[in-house]
Amino acid sequence: MRTNHQRRNFLKTGTVVGVASLFGPVLASPLPEEKALEASATAVLEIIHKRRSVRQYRSDPVPAEHITLILDAARMAPTAGNQQPWKFLVIQDRTKLNELKAACLQQGIERIKKREKLSEEAFQEREQKLIQYYEKCFSAPVYIVVLVDTECQYPDYNKHDGALAAGNLMLAARALGYGTVYYTGSIPAEITQKVLNIPERYERICITPVGIPEKWPDTPPKKDLKELVVYEQF
């Protein structure tokens, strides 16, 4: 039986320590298979409920073994015809991340200039907000670009395969105590393609930071399940 202390530890951190405290009794004394599976299922469901989109991170490094565990979970996602069209580009080089940040910021500033007629004061205010936004966007120690191979066997399914892999990645990261977020437009695909020298055959699905959050966001409002479920037919 899980103690209240173990439950609080796991829900608060989602870290390896929390997982260990959750599964300690299971590992210490054998349980019937059904009970062990029930404990595992409960842990997985709690991780799903605790995943958050994090947009500001601490600079603490992510151990290489944790990155490997996260990527290994991503590769186990379901895929059309088992084609596994993925490539996972891992960036930790701060110089390269700063290049990405600068390119995103420049594009954002140019967009403001083209789309809006602002006074100098208003423009400077918008520019400063954009600078602060990208400082947060690029505050994590690790970024993973989820790519799919357009020359795979079933390229029409790539958008599904890639998103499923990204989902696994984010849940695995949360299980180890890290935050993620599914960036698309904020860090444009054409910028990642150019700065990171990604071959044309690979299409980007998303890019996500991986790191310890400055603060875990609160749970956003969610629709009641009854609003979302229809049985048999409409």
Q: In CATH, what number is assigned to the domain containing residue 154?
A: 3.40.109.10
- pLDDT of res. 30: 53
- pLDDT of res. 35: 84
Are 14 and 50 contacting, i.e. CB atoms less than 8 angstroms apart?
Answer: yes
Whether residue 225 lies inside any domain: the answer is no
CA distances from 15 to 22, 34, 176 (A): 10, 25, 4
- Mark whether 41 and 70 lie in a shared domain: no
- pLDDT of res. 208: 98
Whether residue 231 lies inside any domain: the answer is no
Whether residue 91 lies inside any domain: the answer is yes
Are 211 and 57 contacting, i.e. CB atoms less than 8 angstroms apart?
Answer: yes
- Mark whether 25 and 85 lie in a shared domain: no
- Mark whether 74 and 32 lie in a shared domain: no
Whether residue 39 lies inside any domain: the answer is yes
- pLDDT of res. 31: 61
- Mark whether 122 and 151 lie in a shared domain: yes
Whether residue 167 lies inside any domain: the answer is yes
Its pTM stands at: 0.84
Which domain covers residue 124, as residue numbers?
Answer: 64-210
CA trace torsion 8, 12, 14, 20 (10° rounding): -30
- pLDDT of res. 24: 46
- pLDDT of res. 72: 98
- pLDDT of res. 176: 97
Name the residue type at position 104: C
CA distances from 78 to 88, 102, 131, 148 (A): 16, 35, 38, 14
DSSP class per residue in 181-201: --BSSSS-HHHHHHHTT--TT
- pLDDT of res. 36: 81
Which residues of the chain fall short of a pLDDT of 70?
1-31
Neighbours of 164 (CB within 10 A): 19
- pLDDT of res. 7: 41
Are 159 and 146 contacting, i.e. CB atoms less than 8 angstroms apart?
Answer: no
Are 158 and 77 contacting, i.e. CB atoms less than 8 angstroms apart?
Answer: no
- Mark whether 73 and 140 lie in a shared domain: yes
Angle (CA) 217 223 224, round 5°? 120
- Mark whether 31 and 73 lie in a shared domain: no
- pLDDT of res. 22: 43
**Mean of pLDDT over the chain:** 89
**Overall number of domains in the chain:** 2
- Mark whether 24 and 89 lie in a shared domain: no
- Mark whether 25 and 82 lie in a shared domain: no
Alpha carbon distance 132, 216 (integer Å): 19
- pLDDT of res. 19: 47
Tokens representing 166 are: 């990204």
- Mark whether 75 and 36 lie in a shared domain: no
